[in-house]
Amino acid sequence: MSLDRIRADLARTPELKLDGPLGLPVATFKVHVEQRRYVPTLQEWLDGKFTMTELQKQSADWASKCCGINLAPLFDKVDKSLQRRKERQIREQIARELAQLEAARKPQ
């Protein structure tokens, strides 16, 4: 019976009446989903940011045992060399300026 009723409704032509006011459409269903947003704790966030991977752990272990290269002494020597060069350039500039001052005083 239900199938006959569906066929009869499909065969009928729809009637459109425009002589009256059009009503607002009525919602036939409503969906609502409630879910809490996941916010990690501070400890979870820190663990995610700062926990080393297995490769990082292996590399750190390897570097701490024997094979790491400490570049700090090299950089210290480079810094000292640059500082000595600046000091030498300042001394040379002072000597030039004193020589120019002495040369300017002699003719007087």
The string of pLDDT tens digits covering residues 71-97 is 888 899 999 999 999 999 999 999 999
1-4 contact pairs (CB < 8 A, 24+): none
Work out the pLDDT band at 108, boundaries 50, 70, 90: low
Work out the pLDDT band at 1, boundaries 50, 70, 90: low
pLDDT in tens, 30-72: 777 788 888 889 999 998 888 888 888 888 887 777 766 778 8
Contact 65, 73 (CB under 8 A): no
Q: Any idea which residue has 């060069």 for tokens?
A: 85
Residue ranges of domains in the chain: 39-68, 70-108
Contact 3, 10 (CB under 8 A): no
Q: What gap in Å lies between CA 87 and CA 103, rounded to an integer?
A: 24
